[in-house]
Amino acid sequence: MCGIAGIYNFQSNKSVKLDQIQHMVSSLNHRGPDECGFLIDRNFGMGMSRLSIIDLSGGSQPLHNEDRSIWIVFNGEIFNYIELRQELEFKGHHFYTHSDTEAIVHCYEEYGVDFVKYLNGQFAISIWDVKKKKLILARDRVGIRPLFYSLLNNNSIFFASEMKAIFAEGTINPEIDEIGIAQIFTYWVNIPPVTSFKNVNELPAGHVLICNHKGTEIKPYWDMQFPANGGFDKRQKAEIIDELKDQINKAIALRLRADVPVAAYLSGGIDSSIISTLVKRNHNNNLTTFSVAFKDKDYDERTYQEQMVAHLGTNHHMCEVDAHDIAEAFIDVVWYAEKPMMRTAPAPLFALSKLVRDNNIKVVLTGEGADEIFGGYNIFKESLVRRFWSRQPDSEWRPLLLSRLYPYILKDARHLNTFWQGFFKKGLKQTHLPYYSHLIRWDNTSKTRVFFNNSIKHHYNTVAEHQDLNQYFDADIKNMAPLNQAQYIESKLFMTGYLLSSQGDRMMMGNSVEGRFPFLDHQVIEFASKISPHLKVNGLNEKYILKEAYKDILPEGIIYRSKQPYRAPILSSFLSDKTPELIKELLRPQAIKQYGYFNYNSVDKLLRKGKNISAKNDMAVAALVSVQLLHYHYIERFGDHDFRLAEKQTVINLN
Amino acid sequence: MADVKQQVRDYIIENFLFGDTSTQFSDEDSFMEKGILDSTGILEVITFLEESYGIKIEDDELVPENLDSINNIASFISRKKN
């Protein structure tokens, strides 16, 4: 695991200087504090900061092929490197290290840009082809590892694992992009290639970028695909379950490949419980596990975590966070996430990865992705209930099914059920729209636009027509089964843009910890995509096939528990006497007015409500604090951040 | 009547749209379907109506037909006052 960065002046002879790349890499030290390496070849340069996990002594980067004509820096892991290496050696390639990195170089030599299709892993790769003067950037299929780029005057490209590295070089200054902000206040995420900063783009997951003297080209190589209606896996349930277990076992075994110990997160939910159980049973009887608990019991799942620890007998570590810890951590969270957010939920995970690091663990397995690919979220069931209701819109009992999905919303307002029906009735009959499942959520989130300045409000109108989405999504979404449409949207937006980044990669790498996600092995995804929707959400039973597969090895209290969305407190973190001084400062009238993203009068009316702010508007408070922090870190105080390079440095100069 | 409608509209804009007048809604529009209120919002509206118009709203009156638009509220208030 690492951070990568580089510059290519592809239409000029202007040479790239070592210190330009060093400045970039110094801002990525948290991603790889162990060592760093650089390559300079006239008008091209790249570098990386490394967290050593495989081939600790021989895996230093940049690495090269036999005749030193192809060089690589890369962030991530190629889990099938042993098999790849065997195939490539059979084809006559010679290896000089035992690292997974070297397999990529030879794979590119053998297959050209198609090399990426042979990799099973999580990666952001930069390959420099010396003879062709060609740069290839590639990002893994679902976007577990980040990669950003800037095109300057159409003759230079800057790229890096995190946007801060592009700004650290000094040519491109951070400027917040109002369209990016308007997107987050609607979809919760940015739609690639848009980011929250002007002039910086995100390379979409499953894409490669090729750059030579002619310019740049961006091409997809993989996307989630679902069978057209009726084309699902027709085997008996028992056979499908057998393959499911095989696939998950393989994905876990591949992800245990490391030259350092691999631990696991245990959230108390089904998904991480399955992973930990399988690792403990099949691979490592001394498994170490980690979890986060909340002082506020509305959010806490420790009883489930304790149940699993007792069941498995793992070496368990837990950290407890309260509202104040969350607010404190949130200051760093925004620096690492590089975008505003509607939730504080990443903050406890930042505290958790610190606990992991403090226990000298670098790698953890987690359950991310199971909800997306096996159908675990309420929004999937909500959409199915609304479709069912839409066939008899006057039915009195059909909408009551919604209260089974949202008992936590209804618990204080049981006699107001009929009002909630009004909320869910919006657009009820528009079942032909491919985004049907998510339109209510986006519409509801976009109500926060009342707090914006007029300029951002104006951008919202463009966002609301979903043009960016239409370009980003596979046009085939129209032909997918309803559940698959919702899964596709949820995976491409929330999973990639928030769960794996703001709440995943950035929170773990902020403390130099690498996450690995067995459910997101692309072979598991491709297998799961073919499973019939009714085996995923069966009636209103979510992740049915997954639970059927593993009900015998998990305690009943875990397998049949009601699903609790992972959330963290917002109002008690940001609007209390104990709120950190910096956040208090950023919420004062002067700071709101000075930064200028919000309409001061509206924000003032909101904040005056204090603890009485409704559930609907608490996300506006998170968004407000995060936008203010983003400006503070990147516009006002960028130079104050402590950047440094690892002591162990390798410099290769091809000039 | 007209007064009640305007008063309720002003209250909604001030408290739930935070002064933003660019969100358009007619006297007929459902607050819930427009996403202007959530269920805790309805509770605040009830308190506002009870305090402003000196009425007491019974549990079985807490239905959208009485409360989920400006027009519904206005006719509900006028029925209650008579």
**For residue A11, is it within any domain?**
yes
For residues A19 and A12, give the distance between their C-alpha atoms in angstroms, rounded to a whole number: 19
Q: What is the pLDDT of residue A475?
A: 82
Number of domains in chain B: 1
List of residues 6+ apart from A475 with CB closer than 8 A: none
DSSP collapsed to 3 states, A426-495: CCCCCCCCCCHHHHHHHHHHHHHHHHECHHHHHHHHHHHCCHHHHHHCCHHHHHCCHHHHHHHHHHHHHH
Q: Are residues A332 and A439 in the same domain?
A: no
Q: Are residues A60 and A138 in the same domain?
A: yes
Q: What is the pLDDT of residue B57?
A: 87
Q: Are residues A582 and A633 in the same domain?
A: yes
* Residues B39 and A420: beta-carbon distance below 8 Å: yes
Q: Are residues A304 and A197 in the same domain?
A: no
Query: Which residue among B35, B38, B40 places its CB closest to the CB of A443?
Result: B35
**Binning pLDDT at 50, 70 and 90, where does residue B37 land?**
confident
Query: Which residue among B18, B30, B38 places its CB closest to the CB of A615?
Result: B38
Q: End-to-end alpha-carbon separation of chain B, Å?
A: 13
Hey, what are A255's tokens? Answer: 């992800």
Interface probe with B: pick from A394, A396, A410, A418, most Cβ of B within 10 Å: A418
Q: What is the pLDDT of residue A416?
A: 64
CA-based nearest residue in chain B for residue A425 = B33
| CB–CB contact B22 A447 (8 Å) | no
Helical H runs in A465-568?
467-472, 482-490, 506-509, 522-529, 533-536, 544-550, 556-559
Q: What is the pLDDT of residue A380?
A: 96
Q: Which residues of A fall within a CB distance of 8 Å from B47? A: none
Q: Are residues A327 and A306 in the same domain?
A: yes
For residues B36 and A508, give the distance between their C-alpha atoms in angstroms, rounded to a whole number: 38
The residue with tokens 């019974």 is B58
Q: Which residues of B fall within a CB distance of 8 Å from A419? A: 32, 37, 39, 42, 64, 67-68
Q: What is the ipTM of this complex?
A: 0.76
Q: Are residues A109 and A255 in the same domain?
A: no
Q: Are residues A61 and A185 in the same domain?
A: yes
| CB–CB contact B20 A602 (8 Å) | yes
For residues A283 and A129, give the distance between their C-alpha atoms in angstroms, rounded to a whole number: 40
Output DSSP code: residue A32: -
Q: Are residues A118 and A242 in the same domain?
A: no
| CB–CB contact A416 B22 (8 Å) | no
* Residues A548 and A237: beta-carbon distance below 8 Å: yes
Q: What is the pLDDT of residue A223?
A: 96
Q: Are residues A529 and A578 in the same domain?
A: no
Q: Are residues A273 and A190 in the same domain?
A: no
Query: Which 2-61 residues of chain B touch chain A by CB within 8 A?
Result: 14-15, 17-20, 22-23, 30-43, 59
Q: Are residues A182 and A215 in the same domain?
A: yes
Q: CATH number, domain at A505? A: 3.40.50.620
Number of domains in chain A: 4
| CB–CB contact B35 A614 (8 Å) | no
Residue B19 has pLDDT above 80, yes or no: yes
Q: What is the pLDDT of residue A496?
A: 97
Around Cβ B59, how many Cβ atoms within 10 Å?
A: 8
CA-based nearest residue in chain B for residue A446 = B35
Query: Residue A255 to residues A56, A204, A356, A618: CA-CA distances in angstroms?
Result: 17, 23, 18, 38
Query: Which residue among A457, A603, A615 places its CB closest to the CB of B40?
Result: A615
Q: Are residues A478 and A501 in the same domain?
A: no
Q: What is the pLDDT of residue B24?
A: 86
Q: What is the pLDDT of residue A415?
A: 57
Chain A residues within 8 Å of chain B (Cβ atoms) = 409-410, 412-413, 415-416, 418-423, 425-426, 443-444, 447, 449-451, 457, 599, 601-603, 605-606, 614-616
How big is chain B, counted in residues? 82
For residues B42 and B31, give the distance between their C-alpha atoms in angstroms, rounded to a whole number: 9
User: What is the crossing angle of helices A417-425 and B39-53, to 10°?
Assistant: 120
Q: CATH number, domain at A143? A: 3.60.20.10
Low-confidence ranges of chain A (pLDDT < 70): 1, 408-417
Q: What is the pLDDT of residue A255?
A: 97
**For residue A650, is it within any domain?**
no
Q: CATH number, domain at B72? A: 1.10.1200.10
**For residue A293, is it within any domain?**
yes
Q: What is the pLDDT of residue A436?
A: 95
* Residue-number span of the structural domain to which A515 is assigned: 237-336+344-373+491-559
